[in-house]
Amino acid sequence: MEYITSCNLREEFKNSIDDMIDETKDPLAILELIHHNSQLWFLEILKEIQHRKDMKAYEITLLEQIFLFESYEQMMSQLITTTDKIIDQINFDQLIFAQAARNKEIGEMLIERLTKL
């Protein structure tokens, strides 16, 4: 069941990459979403390993393949293919500035949360 849900979510996200690129013209922002999804699946794998202490190496490898590597490869392939269609419209300096601003905002938010602990 989890695998089917994962495949459906992955396919839905992959199919929305074209629209996101058309709207934002910012492949780095989409890349952040891909990394975010990968981090969530990575944590789910770790939780599963923690829950099932007797997992075999081949079971862990299968989870990695299904939930991390296949997803990442498909999404990155779609992102690169889609970005190639608008490559002449991309302002790389603007992308880097926007990325830096997002990173600063995230860093400030994390510091604020940690100081409240």
Each residue of 30-58: pLDDT tens digit? 999 999 888 888 998 999 999 998 999 99
Residue 1 has pLDDT above 50, yes or no: no
What does each C-alpha distance from 25 to 6, 12, 37, 70 come to in angstroms? 27, 19, 20, 25
pTM for this one? 0.78
For the segment 83-92, the average pLDDT, to the nearest whole number, is: 94
Q: How far apart are CA 26 and CA 46, in angstroms?
A: 31
Domains of the chain, by residue range, sit at 2-90
Report yes or no: 2 and 69 within 8 Å, Cβ to Cβ. no
Each residue of 55-87: pLDDT tens digit? 999 999 999 998 899 889 999 999 999 999 999
Terminal CA-to-CA distance of the chain, rounded, Å? Answer: 37
Among residues 43, 42, 15, which one has the least CA distance to residue 30? 15
Residue 106: pLDDT band (50, 70, 90) is confident
Q: How far apart are CA 103 and CA 72, in angstroms?
A: 21
Residue 6 has pLDDT above 70, yes or no: no
Residue 90 has pLDDT above 80, yes or no: yes
The DSSP secondary-structure symbol of 92 reads H
